[in-house]
Structure 1
Amino acid sequence: MNLKKLEFEKLIEQISTLYREKKYSQLKSILADINPTDIAVLFDEFPNEQRILLFRLLPKEEAAETFVELDGETQEALIHAFSDTELREVIDELYLDDTVDIIEEMPATIVKRILRNTDAQTRKSINTLLKYPEDSAGSIMTPEFVDLKKDNTVEDAFKRIRRTGVDKETIYTCYVTDSSRHLIGVTTVKELLLHDYGDKIEEFMETNTIFVNTHDDKEIAANFLDKYNFLALPVVDMENRLVGIITVDDAIDVLQEENTEDIQKMHAIMPNEKPYLKTGIFETWKSRITWLLFLMISATFTSMILNAFEDKLSALIVLTSFVPMLTGTSGNSGGQASAVIIRALSLKEIDFKDIFKVIWKEFRVGVLCGITLAAVNFVKIWFVDRTLLGMSAITIQVDLVISLTLIIEIIFAKMVGCVFPILAKKMKLDPAVISSPFITTVMDALSLLIYFWLATMILHI
């Protein structure tokens, strides 16, 4: 049963009614037909007491899959309610990388209890994964994969898959290692099926294997899976020994986290992994206030420029009315360029060596955009602001100052918007930090300087 085919509210009401009437067998039957991901969404609509009972109605395997999809707070509440036996059953059904993800979000008391209810080998594997840096490929890999030897026959391979595959996260892609566990090749179940039982793996395995190191950034691993359309990616240690794999579902999570983080940074918000409605008011305040304070203080430069040209503004007040339009346009232009460049950097489409190509392209784009906006603005100011709105102080020279300012500031905004992220990447800073709010602040000041310089030169004020 797909939750999308049901009215969500109706299903919630049905489950609530069956719960009140204690018709647990019917509840169990309904839940058994729902995808674990959708069950996790349903659980958000019930208080903890009901979640615990509903969770206990799930079959063992489905319960484990649902548990992985729940948010940290719900997982913690369930663990508190579990007996040691129930906790052990859930942990035993989880893949190792999912167990590590859960442990990383839990308080120390919960972590100790989880580890206490795992066997020695599992604890050792968990501790190994926890030692890798948070953003590394090693931190998201799983050691549960199918490995073969090059002198295995196809028949040997199928026997091994049948014997060990039940505990592996994926059995489609199989990795070929030597006696020291060095990665020497890869094959798939499709290839095995297309060959005779007596054929040896070394006769058809792919030896040009793409892999990542345990200490490579996890975003690099995710991008490899996306680029090569892999279902899984091997992870090796410093001595090229195969120690784990990263599956496509983990790569999707990484890319989603990175995209969310970039969006937050681009809008001057400190990254927060919690869902919006699960984030408290003070947490939200904390994630936003730092950048707001910085941007507010940095805007002092704009005030200083306005104060410096106060006499000139008082001599021709009409200039003041166009300041918001000019600063807004320059900020928007810079923001457009920075967003495109940040995305291109993320996708590895450009690098620092391409900086002059990017500047040249954005310069030409800036010229075209500036001329187009200036031409439209010139006509608009003359016929709308001067004629229809009666702003008689607007002259051809004033209109020319505003339009020329648009051309120059847009060219500068495009170049600033593309250069800052590239330089940030070169200095090993996050390009998303050098984004729209920061560029807008810089361009506000620069636009005013250009505006008043042109006004001084053309209007002689």
Structure 2
Amino acid sequence: MKVKVQVDIKKLIENGDFRTLKTILSQQEPAEILELIEELPADEKIIVFRFLSKDQAAVVFSELETDDQMELIELFKEERLSEIISSMDPDDRAELLEEMPANVVNKLLSFLTPEERKLTLSLLNYPENSAGRLTTPKCLELNPNMTVSEALEKIRKEGKDKETVHLMPVIDKSRILLGTVELQDLIFSEPDLYVEQIMDSEPVFVYATTDQEEVAQIMKKYDLIAIPVVDSEQRLIGIITIDDIVDVIDEEATEDIQKMSSIVTTEQPYLHLSGWKLIFKRLPWLIALLLMESINGNVIAKFEHFLASLPIVAAFMPTMMDTGGNIGSQISALVIRGMALGDIKLKDWWKVLLRETAIGLVLGAVLGIVLFFRSMMISQALEIGLAVSVALMVVVIFANALGAALPFLARLIKIDPAIMAGPLLTTIVDVSGIIMYFMIVHWILR
């Protein structure tokens, strides 16, 4: 039975009961160990690492946050640090080094063999967020002229040290990718058949420079647990496995949420960020949005005589801004999510705009009628009810079309569509909506 209560771990360390601690840790998966030690101070984390196997320690260390890794690197004895770094998967090692200062990178690279160092540096040379950075070369490669029995024998001998044996690339002597074979196909095939007879000769693969988000979409589309990665000449570099893609999906979703909230993106969890860093992550956008919102003051000042003669008009200003912002945020979230999932392409812009203009017209008409009856409870003047209702309908149609169009504009100019949502869209709709409101109401009631 697995023990997962963190307070027990802490008590065992404080009481010096290391025999029990070692027994408990031996029963846990790396993910559970990570959860157990997450809140421990660095000096107690070091004690836990003393009782982990080399492979356990490598996996747990690779999953820690960057600031925790930095603390432990300073506390580890060189022998233990060398063991951990050498045992990490190449893609995890490359990700670790990417986050470290130059002096720490040099120190860690010194613990690697020349072959490991060369492999790690080759992964680091690929663009950030590319498939090459996620690639592990620890895949089991097959020869097309092998028989099924020879391939199974190779799996028995070498498979334990590989990332996965569920999908195996088939390559020639020049490492050109010829196809892929799934383990189940080998198991259920006749022993004397050749690998080339049962392999998929048109495999799904990605290039090392392919963006990691596109890799995730491809693996989702074809329901893959691993995908081969090749260079520009289609020579095999390695594979990307589903566990790395799950991390990518998590990172991309977090990044989109932060951008939609107008926050400068950060990869660190909230509690690992200092208060000052959180302030500087949020402040630039808040200043920009504040300056944009100040346009409303100029608009109101321009119509101050109109408001003085008809104060009831001011009562509907919040309704115009809030409704427009809500409408725009709704549709922008739908479009951005559709783009992220690959359901909506850039070429679909006119379909989406036509559809959302029609939908905006219906929404605007319904909300305009509701506002008309609400206005009659405040003022008995029919012309005022008509003016604010027409203004709301126009604002809703505009906000809906704008919320649908901005993500396409972002994609066209090569920026993340998520930026065009949340506070930014709301502020744009607020400013434009209040201008349209005053112009329409002033024109109708003049």
Aligned residue in 1 for 2:345: 351
Map 1:320-359; keep pairs closer than 5 Å: 320-359=314-353
Aligned residue in 2 for 1:281: 275
Aligned residue in 1 for 2:388: 402
Measure, in 2, the Cα distance between the counterparts of 1:75 and 1:427: 37
Secondary structure at the aligned position of 2:165 is classed as coil
In the TM superposition, residue 130 of structure 1 has moved relative to its aligned partner by 0.4
Measure, in 1, the Cα distance between the counterparts of 2:433 and 2:69: 52
**What runs of 5+ residues in structure 2 fail to find an aligned partner?**
none
Measure, in 2, the Cα distance between the counterparts of 1:394 and 1:123: 80
* Cα RMSD for the two superposed structures: 1.5
Deviates more, 1:300-309 or 1:147-156: 300-309
Aligned residue in 2 for 1:155: 149
Residue 70 (structure 1) aligned with residue 64 (structure 2): yes
Map 1:96-245; keep pairs closer than 5 Å: 96-245=90-239
Aligned residue in 1 for 2:430: 444
Q: Could you tell me whether the CA contact under 8 Å between 1:36 and 1:69 is conserved in 2?
A: no
Q: Could you tell me whether the CA contact under 8 Å between 2:391 and 2:441 is conserved in 1?
A: no
Q: Could you tell me whether the CA contact under 8 Å between 2:6 and 2:37 is conserved in 1?
A: no
Q: Which residue of 1, 6, 27 maps to 1:12?
A: 6
In the TM superposition, residue 12 of structure 1 has moved relative to its aligned partner by 2.6
> For 1:411-454, what per-residue CA distance to the aligned partner results, in whole angstroms no more than 9, with x for missing partners?
11010011111021012121111222222222122212221222
In the TM superposition, residue 325 of structure 1 has moved relative to its aligned partner by 1.4
In the TM superposition, residue 372 of structure 1 has moved relative to its aligned partner by 2.0
Q: Could you tell me whether the CA contact under 8 Å between 1:214 and 1:235 is conserved in 2?
A: yes
Measure, in 1, the Cα distance between the counterparts of 2:142 and 2:111: 31
> For 1:108-164, what per-residue CA distance to the aligned partner results, in whole angstroms no more than 9, with x for missing partners?
232222111111100000010000111211111111111111111112112222232
> For 1:350-373, what per-residue CA distance to the aligned partner results, in whole angstroms no more than 9, with x for missing partners?
222211110111112112221222
In the TM superposition, residue 228 of structure 1 has moved relative to its aligned partner by 1.2
In the TM superposition, residue 292 of structure 1 has moved relative to its aligned partner by 0.9
Q: Could you tell me whether the CA contact under 8 Å between 1:318 and 1:394 is conserved in 2?
A: no
Measure, in 2, the Cα distance between the counterparts of 1:55 and 1:402: 67
Match of 1:439, as an amino acid?
Answer: L
Alignment coverage as a number of residue pairs: 446
Aligned residue in 1 for 2:419: 433
Percent of matched pairs sharing the same residue: 36
TM-score (norm 2): 0.96
In the TM superposition, residue 192 of structure 1 has moved relative to its aligned partner by 0.5
In the TM superposition, residue 394 of structure 1 has moved relative to its aligned partner by 5.0
In the TM superposition, residue 2 of structure 1 has moved relative to its aligned partner by 6.1
Measure, in 2, the Cα distance between the counterparts of 1:438 and 1:78: 40
TM-score (norm 1): 0.93
In the TM superposition, residue 72 of structure 1 has moved relative to its aligned partner by 1.4
Q: Could you tell me whether the CA contact under 8 Å between 2:292 and 2:431 is conserved in 1?
A: no
Match of 1:361, as an amino acid?
Answer: R
Measure, in 1, the Cα distance between the counterparts of 2:307 and 2:271: 47
Aligned residue in 2 for 1:424: 410
Map 1:311-322; keep pairs closer than 5 Å: 311-322=305-316
Secondary structure at the aligned position of 2:334 is classed as helix
Match of 2:184, as an amino acid?
Answer: K
Secondary structure at the aligned position of 1:209 is classed as coil
> For 1:19-67, what per-residue CA distance to the aligned partner results, in whole angstroms no more than 9, with x for missing partners?
2221101011112222211221221221111111012112232222211
Secondary structure at the aligned position of 2:420 is classed as coil
Match of 1:202, as an amino acid?
Answer: E
